[in-house]
């Protein structure tokens, strides 16, 4: 799968390393120095990630979010990671969070380094089978302990739990995006809002976010966590291969992406059933979020490109029969 670049970078890697060390030194009375300076890791379009090691400490990862992202997101994920680890889902412990954007140009977190290599660096057959099987296994977990722990931690249902989560999102969209009122009504009628068939949802499940070591998954990174229908994850993965990857890397050959997606879905279906109707509805919802962000001039550069916006509009119109006019 092609890399999804974090495009807008005002500070060099060398500047990030120096500023981060100054921050650590100002926060400690002990001597703080790098044994291994920060090295850029392959990341998505939402964050810059670095591996580093301080003298006499374990290797860690520094994750810096885009400037428009809020510290509350990292504080929420800190709680989520702790709870998921309690349920045997391998997520990196987040040790500290900083909300001062002036330090590194965006809010950031320090977390454990997960051993291994990204799954997409493995043989294609291993990649497809492990990604599909591990996603299906994740979707088969009992969500009740997760929901209970999040509620005990004071997290409101509308922050993570369907149907409250999706209803809140649709309500906000209705207020802020008047040109999409017909589509929002279409989604209200079709999104699974009955609170049934709930699963742990990653939100961006692909081979760069799944780490693989010694023949098994060693950790899962970059959670856009919620509790919802499994079709939500499957729809995102489908859009990633069929629409997003070609936008990011036109050299990503159609037969390669089609074969890869087919292999992932077959591996998933060997464990859990696919609901293609719900997957299609969530594909529309996912691309609508990209369309709305691009029309508002926010989000990663590739979703704001006119050709990308046309791709989203075309799929939505062909699927729903609704023609949108974001510029209206």
Tens of pLDDT, residues 19-65: 999 999 998 878 899 999 999 986 566 788 999 999 999 999 999 99
Is pLDDT of 258 > 60? yes
Task: Give the pLDDT of residue 146.
Answer: 96
Average pLDDT of the residues in 221-240: 95
Residues 170, 96 share a domain: no
Residues 54, 201 share a domain: no
Of 98, 93, 120, nearest to 108 by C-alpha is 98
Residues 237, 194 share a domain: yes
136 lies in some domain: yes
The structure's pTM equals: 0.91
The order of strands in the sheet holding 60-65 is 34-41, 47-54, 60-65, 108-112, 94-98
Task: Give the pLDDT of residue 251.
Answer: 76
Average pLDDT of the residues in 183-190: 96
Average pLDDT of the residues in 244-256: 83
What pLDDT band is residue 8 in, cutting at 50, 70 and 90? very low
Q: What is the CATH number of the domain that holds 257?
A: 3.90.1200.10
Number of domains observed in the structure of the chain: 2
328 lies in some domain: no
313 lies in some domain: yes
Residues 225, 142 share a domain: yes
What pLDDT band is residue 133 in, cutting at 50, 70 and 90? very high
Q: What percent of the chain has pLDDT over 90?
A: 80
Task: Give the pLDDT of residue 289.
Answer: 95
Residues 284, 172 share a domain: yes
- Which of these three, 65, 82, 112, is where a domain ends? 112
Is pLDDT of 153 > 80? yes
Average pLDDT of the residues in 103-120: 95
What pLDDT band is residue 7 in, cutting at 50, 70 and 90? very low
Average pLDDT of the residues in 77-102: 95
pLDDT tens per residue, range 300-309: 888 989 999 9
Residues 129, 22 share a domain: no
Residues 261, 213 share a domain: yes
Angle in degrees, 0-180, between the axes of helices 231-239 and 276-295, rounded to the nearest 10: 60
198 lies in some domain: yes
Residues 137, 91 share a domain: no
Average pLDDT of the residues in 55-78: 93
291 lies in some domain: yes
Task: Give the pLDDT of residue 1.
Answer: 59
174 lies in some domain: yes
SS (H, E, C) the chain: CCCCCCCCCCCCHHHHHHHHHHHHHHCCCCCCCEEEEEEEECCCCCEEEEEEEECCCCCEEEEEECCCCCHHHHHHHHHHHHHHHHCCCCCCCEEEEECCHHHHCCCEEEEECCCCEEHHHCCHHHHHHHHHHHHHHHHCCCCHHHHHHHHHCCCCHHHHECCHHHHHHHHHHHHHCHHHHHHHHHHHHHCCCCCCCCEEECCCCCCCCEEEECCEEEEECCCCCEEECCHHHHHHHHHHHHHHHHHHCCCCCHHHHHHHHHHHHHHHHCCCCCCHHHHHHHHHHHHHHHHHHHHCCCCCHHHHCHHHHHHHHHHHHHHHCCCCCCCC
Residues 143, 107 share a domain: no
7 lies in some domain: no
Task: Give the pLDDT of residue 2.
Answer: 55
Is pLDDT of 4 > 80? no
Is pLDDT of 216 > 50? yes
- Which of these three, 62, 96, 112, is where a domain ends? 112
Where is pLDDT greater, at 208 or 315? Answer: 315
219 lies in some domain: yes
Residues 275, 307 share a domain: yes
**How deeply is 84 buried, as exposed, middle or buried, from its count of CB atoms within 10 A (0-12, 13-18, 19+)?**
buried
**Residues 211, 218: contact at Cβ < 8 Å?**
yes
- Which of these three, 59, 92, 112, is where a domain ends? 112
Structural domain span for residue 51: 13-112
Q: What are 210's strand-pairing partners? A: 220
Residues 270, 308 share a domain: yes
Q: What is the CATH number of the domain that holds 64?
A: 3.30.200.20
Residues 131, 92 share a domain: no
Is pLDDT of 252 > 90? no
């Amino acid at each position: 799968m092609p890399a999804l670049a974090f495009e807008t970078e005002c500070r060099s890697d060398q500047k990030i390393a120096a500023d981060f060390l100054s921050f650590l030194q100002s926060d400690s009375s002990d001597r703080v120095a790098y044994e291994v300076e920060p090295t850029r890791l392959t990341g998505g379009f939402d964050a810059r990630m670095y591996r580093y090691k301080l003298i006499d400490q374990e290797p860690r990862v520094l994750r810096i979010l885009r400037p428009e992202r809020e510290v509350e997101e990292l504080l929420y994920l800190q709680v989520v990671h702790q709870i998921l680890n309690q349920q045997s889902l391998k997520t990196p412990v987040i040790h500290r969070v900083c909300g001062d954007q002036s330090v590194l140009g965006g809010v950031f977190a320090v977390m454990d380094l997960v051993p291994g290599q990204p799954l997409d660096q493995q043989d294609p057959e291993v990649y497809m089978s492990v990604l599909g099987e591990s996603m299906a296994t994740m979707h088969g977990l009992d969500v009740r302990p997760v929901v209970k722990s999040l509620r005990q931690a004071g997290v409101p249902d509308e922050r993570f739990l369907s149907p409250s989560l999706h209803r809140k999102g649709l309500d906000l969209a209705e207020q802020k995006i008047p040109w999409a009122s017909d589509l929002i009504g279409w989604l209200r009628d079709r999104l699974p809002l009955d609170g049934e068939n709930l699963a742990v949802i990653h939100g961006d499940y692909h081979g760069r976010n799944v780490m693989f070591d010694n023949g098994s998954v060693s950790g899962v990174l970059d959670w856009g966590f919620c509790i919802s229908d499994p079709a939500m994850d499957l729809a995102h993965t489908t859009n990633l291969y069929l629409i997003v990857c070609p936008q990011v890397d036109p050299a990503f050959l159609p037969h390669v992406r089609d074969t890869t997606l087919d292999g992932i879905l077959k591996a998933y279906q060997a464990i859990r059933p696919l609901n293609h109707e719900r997957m299609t509805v969530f594909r529309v919802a996912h691309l609508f979020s990209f369309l709305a962000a691009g029309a508002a001039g926010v989000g990663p550069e590739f979703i704001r490109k006119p050709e990308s916006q046309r791709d989203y509009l075309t799929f939505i119109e062909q699927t729903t029969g609704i023609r949108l006019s974001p510029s209206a």
